[in-house]
């Protein structure tokens, strides 16, 4: 069965510092991996995806993620955090032809000034 | 383009009442999905559709029904609401090939 784990409920960083939000996955086939962000009282917004190719994926708002097949991880990173990055982040995986997503439980990112 | 829209935005039901949530997309997407979001549990798939006239069960389908009579619309029905169905409901659509899903703004449902 497919699953996604986000081991941290919350990540706290200072503005200007690098940030990492962790994600590990379990699928039986080739994974399609995604990161989404949710601001308060809003729907989810797509940040980036890994389908195939380069293991380092660049996305919206300066975010990037590194696919590591041996560690089955897809951590979200940003070199310099902004206060406006504070939000709820979800990792998701898809591995079949229906394209349905399995989501992690979410990680709340808090960037302090 | 409006993208994915959901109606209503908020609703309060009494136990046993019924209601229908409407999702509409104007991106000509084949695939549509209904999720529920509960604190600490991420989003869980209720039902989905891979094309007009087709529906399938997701992870938590019990107590819900869906219909996809038109390609642009995906309806989620609760026949007899229960307090356990208090949640935020999100609809999403996808073009399939590119995989990413586009989400609506959500419907906050409270069942008392």
Statement: residue B98 has pLDDT above 70: no
Statement: residue A94 has pLDDT above 90: no
Tokens 């959901």 belong to residue: B6
Tell me whether residues A98 and B50 touch, CB distance under 8 A: yes
Average pLDDT over residues B35-52: 92
Statement: residue B77 has pLDDT above 90: yes
Q: In the prediction, which pLDDT does A72 show?
A: 94
Give which of B110, B64, B35 is closest to A36, Cα–Cα. B35
Work out the number of other CB atoms within 10 angstroms of the CB of residue B6: 21
**Tens digits of per-residue pLDDT, B1-24?**
679 999 999 999 999 999 999 999
Instruction: Show the tokens assigned to B21.
Output: 């949530």
The band of A39, judged by pLDDT with boundaries at 50, 70 and 90, is very high
**Tens digits of per-residue pLDDT, A22-37?**
999 998 888 899 999 9
Q: Is the dihedral of CA B45, A72, A32, B56 positive or negative?
A: negative
Q: Which residues in chain A are contacts of B101 at CB distance < 8 A? A: 46, 99, 101
CB neighbour burial string for A21-45, b if at least 16 within 10 angstroms, e if fewer: bbbbbebeeebbbbbbbbeeeebbe
């Amino acid at each position: 069965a497919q699953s996604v784990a986000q081991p941290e409920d919350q990540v706290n960083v200072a503005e200007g510092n690098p940030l990492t939000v962790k994600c590990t996955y379990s699928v039986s086939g080739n994974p399609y991996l995604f990161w989404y962000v949710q601001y308060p009282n809003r729907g989810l917004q797509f940040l980036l995806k890994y389908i195939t190719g380069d293991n380092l994926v660049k996305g919206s708002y300066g975010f990037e993620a590194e696919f590591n097949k041996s560690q089955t991880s897809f951590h979200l990173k940003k070199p310099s955090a902004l206060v406006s990055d504070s939000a709820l982040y979800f990792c998701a995986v898809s591995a079949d032809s229906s394209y349905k997503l399995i989501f992690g439980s979410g990680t709340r990112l808090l960037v302090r000034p | 383009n409006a993208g994915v829209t959901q109606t209503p935005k908020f609703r309060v039901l009494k136990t046993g009442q019924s209601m229908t949530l409407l999702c509409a997309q104007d991106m000509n997407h084949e695939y549509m999905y209904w999720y529920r979001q509960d604190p600490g549990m991420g989003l869980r798939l209720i039902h989905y559709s891979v094309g007009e006239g087709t529906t399938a069960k997701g992870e938590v389908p019990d107590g819900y029904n869906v219909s996809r009579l038109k390609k642009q619309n995906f309806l989620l029905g609760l026949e007899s609401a229960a307090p356990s169905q208090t949640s935020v409901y999100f609809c999403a659509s996808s073009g399939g090939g590119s995989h990413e899903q586009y989400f609506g703004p959500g419907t906050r449902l409270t069942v008392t």
